[in-house]
Chain A
Amino acid sequence: MRQAASALVRRDLQLLWTRRGDALQPALFALLTVVLFALGLGGEADALAPVASAVLWLAVLLAGLLALDSLFRGDAEDGSLEQWMLAPVPLWWLVLVRTLMHWLTTALPVIVAVPVLGELLHLPHAQLPVLMGSLLLGTPILSLLGAVVAALTVGMRRAGVLVALLALPLYVPVLVFGAGAVAAASQGLDPVGALLLLGAGLSISLVFAPLAAAAALRIAHN
């Protein structure tokens, strides 16, 4: 199993290197979102600072949603998915490795950019640690849950809004606890509870989401 994983990881990194520009697209989208929010809200620090953490969470979430399309599409198009399903290695393992690689290459760059984006929104510096923590715990959950949705829609050419519609209910608890952790901290409450819930959610997702996504792949790809 480790061989299959390292082969997949190596291939993903190679593909990533040949399409370096693509990896920065989610970060770019997050930046665009932040700019639009700032322009829409009027640009004043008083208006931006209270909502900065929520806007950043949304920017990361939406960027991840867009990037979801690339999770399985490449493999579906070149026939690798069928190879996956016939492989001696469990499908859920391949899904897990692929999803984590996808997170590393699409979500992590955005998270790295968050402190800079936070400056654009006048994010109070005291909120930054909790925000980063909630993002680091929450975005893998989004990727894992998103993998289930991506697996269900893998055959479709114009899945677009349908993916967002399917993912939204699944994303709500993550957004609530993620952005809520920062909101709690800003109100003086203890964010640890929410962060622990995110951590628990991550553990559960790590176990169940690959299995669900593998089942969904078999159902949708048939």
Chain B
Amino acid sequence: MNLPPTNRPAPNGLIRWFHQLGSPPYFDRFAARWAPWAHLLALLTMGIGLYGALFQVPADYQQGDSFRILYIHVPAAWMSMAIFALMGVYAAIALVWRIKLCEILAMACAPTGAAFTLVTLATGSIWGKPMWGTWWDWDPRLTTELILLFLYLGVMGLYAAIDDRRDAARAAGFLAIVGVALLPVIRWSVVWWNSLHQGQTIRLFGESSMDPSMVWPLLWMIVGTKLWFAGSLLNRARADNLRRETGKDWVAKLAGATP
């Protein structure tokens, strides 16, 4: 089919860069180059934040030292939600425009998101023991996090269960979008349920009002966890990309064999 050449201006830098990223070998080089920097910066910022959380900030007058767990629990909780939303966005783009890179990125979000959710649950439980005396409490935050963990595991399970990678990513991406749409409903229903069964007292984690002198490590941790996620996203996407392209020449060359 011979179409006459169309007259179009050359795409500008950013759009061309997006197109380039869609090429598997280019993405591999990009991810391999930048992931280590993301992880390194993440370790630095988290190190500063955690140092402040452990040694600089004074103990809370009510909770003693146990509130230092907040500096991990809160950033992890925010990341678990943010990654879920991002996963939904990537999945939506992948489904609508069928962009393979967005499929890969959406699926690469899930394990790290699940990891942060697990951290939220574990640190919430560990924090709860000295605070309330029990390892677990069905308060709205922890209950929603638990359901969020199941949503992540569901996406990962569905992606793993279908053989064809593109079909698998589309199905799991669809599930992610449904999950994002329903998560507010789930959260709201759990809050209602909690108020019904446990009376009107809503437990707080003590973060409702923090003295400004105690806030700065939290900010470092929030930035640090985002940087860590960026690094992990690139690493996981790179690994998935390599697995999908395994028959191609450029992968063989990268692996050191002559095709």
Contact = CB atoms under 8 A, between A and B. Distances in A.
Q: Do chains A and B touch in the complex (CB under 8 A)?
A: yes
B175 A172 contact: no
The range of chain B's interface size is 20 to 34
Nearest to A159: B161
Contacts of B150: 165, 168-169
Interface in B155-178: 157-158, 161-162, 164, 167, 170-171, 174-175, 178
Contact of A156 (B153, B162, B170, B182): B162
Interface string A184-222: 100101000000000000000000000010011001101
A84 to B, nearest CB: 18
Contact of A172 (B157, B170, B189): B189
B142 interface: no
B185 A220 contact: no
Given A183-B196, A222-B167, A156 B161 contact: yes
A140 B187 CA distance: 21
Given A176-B192, A180-B192, A162 B154 contact: yes
Nearest to A158: B161
Given A177-B192, A180-B193, A183-B196, A148 B178 contact: yes
Is chain A's interface secondary structure helix, strand, loop, or mixed overall?
helix
A177 B189 contact: yes
Interface string B142-157: 0000011011011001
A220 B179 CA distance: 17
Interface in A158-184: 159, 162, 165-166, 168-170, 172-173, 176-177, 180, 183-184
Contacts of B197: 180, 183
A74 B161 CA distance: 20
A172 B171 contact: no
Contact of A173 (B151, B171, B186, B196): B186
Contacts of B59: none
Interface string B117-154: 00000000000000000000000000000011011011
Contacts, number: 73
Given A172-B186, A183-B197, A165 B153 contact: yes
B182 A169 contact: yes
Interface residues of A, number: 27
Nearest to A157: B161
A166 B158 contact: yes
Contacts of A156: 161-162
B189 A152 contact: no
Nearest to B189: A173
Nearest to B163: A155
Given A156-B161, A220-B171, A165 B154 contact: yes
B184 to A, nearest CB: 10
15 contacts: A153-B161, A162-B154, A162-B158, A162-B161, A166-B175, A169-B150, A170-B178, A177-B192, A189-B196, A219-B170, A219-B171, A219-B174, A220-B167, A222-B164, A222-B167
Given A166-B154, A183-B196, 9 more contacts: A153-B161, A165-B153, A166-B157, A172-B186, A173-B182, A180-B192, A184-B196, A189-B196, A222-B167
